[in-house]
């Protein structure tokens, strides 16, 4: 037996391969428009390396009746050898090796296959600038192709003829084709025309001026309006050397959330690539939409996004820096835009400033914060009082708002984590300021205790209140505080895990229960507190009531009222207690109630 090992070659099911590449690689059936435009542009780029002055153009002919569509370019054309090599070998990397491949948009040798999504047959007629006869290549989606010589004397260049499949015929209406040609080709530097028997439409006349010229701001804004149908606040240009990238950044005129992504227009060598920013923009740039062209970055195989490589990362950094530079200087350049920017996008600006001290220094005084005295900018806040108090969560803020007001305090609502970070960083920039967190419990401590002489009078009331409200896990106290019209204030527990009000009770079989103490640390959970206001007339009157039935009802009413005042949720049990208490009051007679 011969010991020599025999090598075999993998067999490829060509039909399956074509189907795989043509139907599954691309997410959009209109991709063939981009691929054919791209082949045309590459062919013209190639001939320009032989003849710099060559006036390239791309013509698309549509027979509106039969829907036969022809894409024709006056580029370099293909020789028979090139047809065998580039068109018929799937995966043959790169275009014409004789030329600098960086000049070409495509490079995977699979673009033409996208035509098989919409057409069962591709006819390509070509005549090469390198000489030889004009040729016709006919490829079929079953993987076979023929080449024949064409007798009529056609010019140098290539045309691709498609007969649409029935199911894709709608892509070959005049309006659909025009739309797709504009979508992909509106920035291409080579003239594209769409021609039917009736009319001739120019697709990309005078586009791309912004890439080279110093366009005025008005022109940039006009372009933004036409592209995104939005009247932007401002526009500015961005350059990145790493990605050979030029962009126009537009500032949105309306507030945006931290969710969702903005649609952009991203071009690669002036061919439309994606509406996604492909990670070029910093993650905080929710308030910006961009038109971007890059000549230096690379596309993925499907040419629907950019490859993430060192160049792209360097571009990301340069773009982020350009946006920050803009933000740092816009106040000097145009104060009106600066103020509009702040009033519209202050949330995002705060998030950026929390990460960038230089930017924070620029914006610090003008950044608005919600306070218990309305929205105020930071300059105003620090002028109001030496110590800037803030609450790190919205619930505390809601609760503190009114009481702080009555104490003459200004409290900032730092509901987002970055707002708290921002305040801490402001403290760092300006050590003369004192910025302190404040909580309802903190405020409770600042309330004035009762005189020892009075306390004994109220002891009965407090004992009773604690007993009555024990089932609601609430601890009661009485203090003097303003405003006098608030009978009681409810301070929720620290909500470390919010399980006090849960019907699920700790089981002694649960081995984790024993460890809870080890994890509470400094953050010992506090029980909810109800602090009655000794300045309040109703409370003062309640102290004198001895009737258990009446006092219980009043305590339940005050308890639920304080929940509502503090914007706490009221459970069914609590609402029932409240209703029952009111019912009791009715039974006892409204006159008696008034006489209390």
Partner 1 sequence: MRYTLEIQKLLNQAEELAIHPKDKVKYYLKAIYLADENDDVEWAFDLRISLLDTEWGLADRQHFIPTFTWLLDAYDQNPDLFDAEELLWKYKWIIDEVYSNPDVSLEQTEDILADFKRRIEEHGYGLRAYYTKRLHEALDQKDIEKTQEYLALVNGIPRDNLSDCQACEMDTEVMTLLNGGNFHAGYEKAQPLLAKQYTCAHVPLVTHCNLTYHAIINKEEEIAAQQFKYAEEALAEREDESSLIRSIGQLIVYLFHANKALAWQYVERYLPWNLESDRNRSFFFAKYMVEGLRLENELERITLQLPSEHPLYNAGNSYLIGDLYKYYHSTAINLGEQFDVRNGNSNFINQIIA
As a dihedral over the C-alpha atoms of residue 250, residue 251, residue 254, residue 259, rounded to 10 degrees, the angle is 90
Query: Which two tokens mark 432?
Result: 């003369």
Between residues 499 and 544, which has the closer beta carbon with respect to partner 1?
499
| Residues contacting partner 1: total by CB under 8 A | 49
Q: Are 442 and 389 in contact (CB under 8 A)?
A: no
Kindly report the three-state secondary structure assignment for every residue of 24-85.
HCCCCCCHHHHHHHHHHHHHHHHHHCCCCCCCCEEEEEECCCCCCEEEEECCCCCCHHHHHH
Q: Which of residues 519-538 bind partner 1 (CB under 8 A)?
A: 519, 521, 523
Q: Which is nearer to partner 1, 496 or 561 (CB)?
A: 496
Residues 69 and 59 sit within 8 Å (Cβ to Cβ): no
Can residue 259 be called a binding residue for partner 1 (CB under 8 A)?
Answer: yes
Q: Between residues 46 and 414, which has the closer beta carbon with respect to partner 1?
A: 414
Stretch that binds partner 1, among 40-48, 121-129, 258-266, 377-385 (CB under 8 A): 258-266
CB 243 within 8 A of CB 307: no
47-66 residues near partner 1, rule: CB under 8 A: none
User: Which segments of 335-377 does DSSP mark as H helices, in order?
Assistant: 335-353, 357-363
Pairing assessment for the beta strands 411-413 and 387-391 based on DSSP bridges: parallel
**Is residue 579 at the binding interface for partner 1, with CB under 8 A as the rule?**
no
The reply on whether position 283 binds partner 1 by CB under 8 A is yes
The answer to whether the beta carbons of residues 91 and 63 sit under 8 Å apart is: no
Q: How many Å apart are CA 187 and CA 117, to the nearest integer?
A: 25
E strand or H helix at 264: none
| 501 touches partner 1 (CB under 8 A) | yes
Closest distance to partner 1 from the beta carbon of 418 (Å)? 6
Give whichever of 101 and 305 is closer to partner 1, judged by the CB atom.
305
Q: Contact between 418 and partner 1 (CB under 8 A)?
A: yes
Q: How far is the CB of 571 from partner 1 (least distance, A)?
A: 5
Q: Which of 94, 149, 515, 544 binds partner 1 (CB under 8 A)?
A: 515
The CB density around residue 231, as the number of other CB atoms within 10 Å, is: 11
Binding region for partner 1 (CB under 8 A) out of 211-219, 358-366, 510-518, 582-590: 510-518
State which of residues 227, 496, 540, 584 lies at the interface with partner 1 (CB under 8 A).
496
Q: CA geometry: angle at 77 spanning 72 and 78, to 5°? A: 125
260 binds partner 1 (CB under 8 A): yes
Which residues in 424-483 contact partner 1 (CB under 8 A)? 424, 427-428, 431
Q: From the CB of 187, what's the least distance to partner 1, in Å?
A: 29
Positions that interact with partner 1 (CB under 8 A): 257-261, 283-284, 286, 313, 351, 393-395, 415-418, 424, 427-428, 431, 495-499, 501-507, 509-519, 521, 523, 569, 571-572
């Amino acid at each position: 037996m011969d010991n020599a090992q025999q090598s075999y070659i993998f067999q490829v099911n060509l039909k399956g391969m074509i189907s795989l590449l043509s139907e599954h690689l691309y997410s959009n059936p209109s991709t063939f428009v981009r691929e054919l435009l791209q082949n045309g542009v590459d062919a013209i780029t190639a001939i320009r390396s032989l003849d710099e002055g060559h006036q390239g153009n791309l013509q698309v002919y549509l027979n509106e009746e039969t829907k036969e569509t022809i894409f024709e370019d006056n580029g370099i054309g293909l020789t028979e050898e090139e047809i065998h090599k580039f068109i018929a070998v799937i995966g043959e990397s790169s275009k014409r090796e004789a030329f600098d491949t960086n000049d070409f948009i495509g490079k995977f040798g699979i673009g033409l296959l996208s035509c098989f999504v919409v057409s069962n047959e591709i006819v390509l007629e070509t005549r090469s600038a390198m000489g030889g006869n004009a040729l016709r290549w006919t490829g079929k989606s079953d993987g076979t192709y023929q080449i024949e010589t064409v007798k009529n004397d056609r010019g140098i260049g290539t045309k691709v003829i498609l007969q649409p499949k029935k199911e894709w015929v709608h892509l070959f209406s005049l309006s659909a084709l025009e739309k797709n040609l504009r979508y992909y080709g509106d920035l291409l530097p080579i003239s594209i025309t769409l021609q039917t028997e009736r009319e001739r439409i120019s697709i990309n006349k005078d586009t791309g001026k912004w890439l080279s010229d110093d366009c005025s701001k008005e022109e940039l804004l006009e372009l933004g309006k036409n592209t995104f149908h939005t009247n932007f606040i401002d526009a500015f240009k961005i350059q990145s050397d790493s990605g050979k990238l030029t962009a126009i950044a537009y500032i949105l005129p309306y507030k945006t959330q931290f969710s969702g992504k903005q649609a952009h227009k991203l071009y690669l060598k002036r061919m439309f690539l994606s509406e996604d920013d492909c990670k070029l923009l910093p993650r905080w740039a929710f308030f910006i939409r961009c038109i971007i062209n890059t000549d230096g970055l690379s596309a993925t195989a499907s040419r629907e996004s950019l490859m993430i490589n060192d160049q792209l990362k360097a571009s990301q950094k340069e773009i982020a820096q350009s946006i920050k530079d803009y933000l740092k200087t816009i106040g000097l350049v145009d104060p009106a835009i600066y103020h509009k920017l702040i009033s519209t996008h202050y949330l995002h600006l705060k998030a950026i400033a929390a990460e960038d001290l230089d930017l924070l220094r620029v914006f610090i005084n003008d950044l608005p914060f919600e306070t218990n005295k309305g929205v105020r900018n930071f300059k105003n806040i620090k002028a109001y009082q030496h110590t800037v108090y803030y609450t790190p969560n919205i619930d505390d803020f809601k609760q503190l708002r009114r009481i702080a007001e009555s104490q003459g305090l200004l409290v900032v609502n730092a509901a987002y984590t970055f707002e708290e970070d921002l305040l801490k960083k402001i403290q760092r920039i300006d050590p003369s300021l004192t910025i302190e967190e404040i909580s309802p419990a903190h405020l409770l401590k600042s309330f004035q205790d009762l005189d020892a002489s009075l306390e004994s009078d109220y002891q009965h009331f407090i004992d009773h209140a604690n007993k009555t409200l024990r089932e609601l896990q609430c601890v009661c106290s009485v203090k003097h505080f303003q405003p006098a019209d608030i009978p009681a204030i409810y301070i929720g527990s620290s909500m470390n895990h919010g399980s006090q009000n849960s019907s699920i009770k700790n089981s002694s079989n649960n081995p984790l229960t024993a460890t809870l103490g080890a994890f509470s640390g400094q953050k010992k959970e506090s029980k909810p507190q109800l602090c009655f206001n000794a300045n309040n007339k109703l409370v003062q009157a309640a102290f004198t009531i001895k009737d258990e039935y009446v006092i219980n009802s009043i305590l339940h009413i005050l308890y639920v009222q304080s929940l509502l005042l503090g914007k706490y949720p009221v459970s069914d049990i609590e609402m029932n207690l409240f209703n029952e208490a009111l019912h009791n009051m009715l039974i006892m007679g409204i006159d008696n109630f008034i006489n209390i």
